[in-house]
Amino acid sequence: MRKVLNFWFSALLVCIGITSLRAQQAPDTILFNGKVVTMDNHEVNANIGTTAQAVAIRDGKIQAVGANAQVRALAGPNTKSLDLKGRMVMPGIALTHDHPQDWDPLNPYIMKKVVTDDIMPTRFLDAEPQQQLQQFPRALDEALSKAKPGQWVRIVMMFGPQYRWRDEITSMLGRQITKEMLDMAAPNNPVIIRTNFVGSLLNQKAIDETKKWYGEQWERFLPARKPLNETVMRNGTCSTCYREVEQDAAFPPRVLEEIYRLGLSWMAGYGQTLNSTALYTAGAIKAYTNIDKKKQMDMRMSWAWFWPERNDFFTDPYFTAAIVGREGTGSDYFWVNGMVPHMGGNCSTVPGTSPEVKQREAKCGYTNTDVNRALYEYIKAGGRLAGDHIMADGEIDIILDIIEKASKDAGMTVDDIRAKRHVTEHMAMYPRPDQIPRFKNLGVMTSGWDFFLWEGRGQEILRDYGERGATMVVPRKSLYDNGIINSMELDRAIASTDISIFHVLYSGVTRKDWDGKVTAPQQAVSREAMLKSATVFGAYGSMKEDVLGSIEAGKIADLIVLDRDYLTIPVEDILKIRVLATFLGGKTVHMTPSLAREWGVQPAGAQVELGGPASKW
């Protein structure tokens, strides 16, 4: 009898153990009854792979993908099962080139939350361009009236809901709004005027304070690479000097950190879960490092070293080896992926439609000795080119030559070179057809600036370089046809606009600008191909395709829920797509109120919490 009791007692323990084990292995969350577009085909084509109905998430990773019944059978007593009601689920959007560190201080929702007048009086002008010009003196005087002596003051001039005022607003700086005006109005306060992209104006006090912040380092910068060059010193205008000014000299470190923390959350509201960028100031590196250490990253970021002020560092083999050795290091949210020594110019071999066109071209940046030498030494030491800014094919010729020579001098095999997966970014007017085989042979990937088409720049290329130049503007069809991995970019400050990341996908599919004009339609690709560039190939750009970029068992659960089916809706409706939820490592980092009510959970994310448009969805 005792043996029988022992047997049944043992059997009971086994059953309890099995039940407990199943509970321990049950998913944390199941999304079911949807259209789960997995992107599990990684080939360079328009095949997006498997489409499923449900996905299970456990411990931040994809546990299973499949049919409703198959996945729901895994549920345990504590599993959250969320009904998608037919909605489309896709991997989080992975961009290869964007600058949230530049755009976050242009976000009025974030700035009004974080930067009060006692920190830095900041005013936003958001009217028609001529109205902004009329409003400017009063806005500046009002901001200065709130400022203490020596306190920084900022004015931001916006580009409108469709981003159409860029040229008009930017052209005002240095002409209708001048450094002399700022100096007279604010002799005791550093003032920076920013537009809703690149383009800034500084007064003398801002110039002096920036130089003071860098101290003795200022004189050690390479003469041609100082962030405030002769033009800035003379008339206060610059393209990107706001980076060093704001990120190092102006914003207190804790304030910058909070701006960036909310900025990551804000971008998650567009469905972005991964970004590759160059970080070019100590302030930005410190801020993101701290956010990562505090486990507050609501978007992943891979970053490249970019400090052209000291390209001479790369003549030191110890320093170069140390930076190369950091590639791939970091956390799952913030890691190093390469280096770039220069923002390349728009030099091209394509003839212009007039002599003036060629006269306006900038000199090829990589012909400069310090730039050429820095990239050569870095690649020779085993490093990867990433995070660059290259506009046209002339620069590409030089860069490919450097890659070939440095790799050869280092004794690398073709496979060694291809494994580096060097990346060139923007594709404003490259690659030429004859450059594509070189990309293929070297394993170089590229990323594209389709928003360049949306804002009418493709039509400008057509005007200045004819059809030959126009066919080289983000030539995705040629790249897909030749097996070149190509990813997607945004590279615009869109928080104050009606634009979303899906405008970029729309531009790649239609080649249309905001007026409906089409540039080089033969370079258009399918919706499926653009989705691949926006997801799995973005993960390739960050060297993380083994764990990111697609919805596959074992990968990290970065995925988004859309309000409509990108693959089947009328093409014009792509512009209307809204992201209802974003999951980062299985954690909800964005959720609109409507879906939150439906699922019985709390809304989430900066776009919702700060009263952005998504707070009304």
Residue pair 381/321 in contact by the 8 Å Cβ criterion: yes
Q: Is the alpha carbon torsion for 35, 526, 566, 196 positive or negative?
A: positive
Distances (CA, A) of 437 to 346, 441, 442, 476, 482: 21, 6, 9, 15, 8
Token readout for 176 is 């209708």
For 500, list phi and psi in degrees, rounded to 5: -130, 175
Residue with tokens 């068992």, as numbered in its chain: 553
Is 0.85 surpassed by the pTM of this model? Answer: yes
- Percent of the chain scoring above 90 in pLDDT: 95
> Three-state SS across 192-245?
EEEECCCCEEECHHHHHHHHHHHCCHHHHCCHHHCCCCHHHHHHCEECCCHHHH
Instruction: Please give the single-letter amino acid code of residue 527.
Output: R
Q: What is the pLDDT of residues 307-346, one digit of tens each?
A: 999 999 999 999 999 999 999 999 999 999 999 999 888 9
Confidence class of residue 21 from pLDDT cuts 50, 70 and 90?
Answer: very low
Q: What is the pLDDT of residues 216-255, one digit of tens each?
A: 999 999 998 999 999 999 999 999 999 999 999 999 999 9
Domains of the chain: 2-91+559-616 (2.30.40.10), 120-251 (no CATH), 255-541 (3.20.20.140)
Q: What is the pLDDT of residues 375-426, one digit of tens each?
A: 999 999 999 999 999 999 999 999 999 999 999 999 999 999 999 999 999 9
* pLDDT number for residue 15: 42
Conformation bin of residue 461: beta by default, left when phi > 0, alpha when psi is -120 to 50: alpha
* pLDDT number for residue 8: 53
- Please give the average per-residue pLDDT across 139-166, as a whole number: 98
CA-to-CA distance for 498 and 162, rounded, in angstroms?
6
CA 147 to chain centroid:
33
Torsion of CA 338, 344, 348, 349, to 10 degrees: -50
* pLDDT number for residue 511: 99
CA-to-CA distance for 160 and 343, rounded, in angstroms?
27
Beta-bridge partner residues of 123:
155
Mean pLDDT of the chain: 96
- Beta strands 390-392 and 334-339 are unpaired
Q: What is the pLDDT of residues 182-196, one digit of tens each?
A: 999 999 999 999 999
Q: What is the pLDDT of residues 73-130, one digit of tens each?
A: 999 999 999 999 999 999 999 999 999 999 999 999 999 999 999 999 999 999 999 9
Q: Is the pLDDT of residue 299 over 50?
A: yes
Q: 305: which residues sit within 8 A by CB, 6+ positions away? A: 278, 279, 323, 336, 338, 339, 340, 387
Q: What is the pLDDT of residues 346-371, one digit of tens each?
A: 999 999 999 999 999 988 999 999 99
Is the peptide bond prior to 613 cis by the omega test (within 30 degrees of 0)?
A: no
* pLDDT number for residue 20: 42
Token readout for 32 is 């079911």
Q: 189: which residues sit within 8 A by CB, 6+ positions away? A: 144, 147, 149, 150, 151, 152, 153, 203, 205
Confidence class of residue 16 from pLDDT cuts 50, 70 and 90?
Answer: very low
Alpha helices by DSSP H, 511-586: 527-534, 536-541
* pLDDT number for residue 344: 83
- Please give the average per-residue pLDDT across 537-559, as a whole number: 99
Instruction: Please give the single-letter amino acid code of residue 354.
Output: S
Q: Is the pLDDT of residue 11 over 50?
A: no
CA 329 to chain centroid:
19
CA-to-CA distance for 587 and 335, rounded, in angstroms?
20
Three-state DSSP at 562 gives strand
Instruction: Please give the single-letter amino acid code of residue 462.
Output: L
Confidence class of residue 1 from pLDDT cuts 50, 70 and 90?
Answer: low
Q: 401: which residues sit within 8 A by CB, 6+ positions away? A: none
- Please give the average per-residue pLDDT across 428-457, as a whole number: 98
Residue pair 583/562 in contact by the 8 Å Cβ criterion: no
Question: Per DSSP, which regions of 371-462 are E strands?
Answer: 390-392, 423-429, 445-448
* pLDDT number for residue 18: 35
Residue pair 566/88 in contact by the 8 Å Cβ criterion: yes
Start-to-end Cα distance in the chain: 67
- Please give the average per-residue pLDDT across 527-553, as a whole number: 99
Residue pair 348/465 in contact by the 8 Å Cβ criterion: yes
Three-state DSSP at 513 gives coil
- Please give the average per-residue pLDDT across 268-281, as a whole number: 98
- Please give the average per-residue pLDDT across 59-72, as a whole number: 99
* pLDDT number for residue 518: 99
* pLDDT number for residue 17: 39
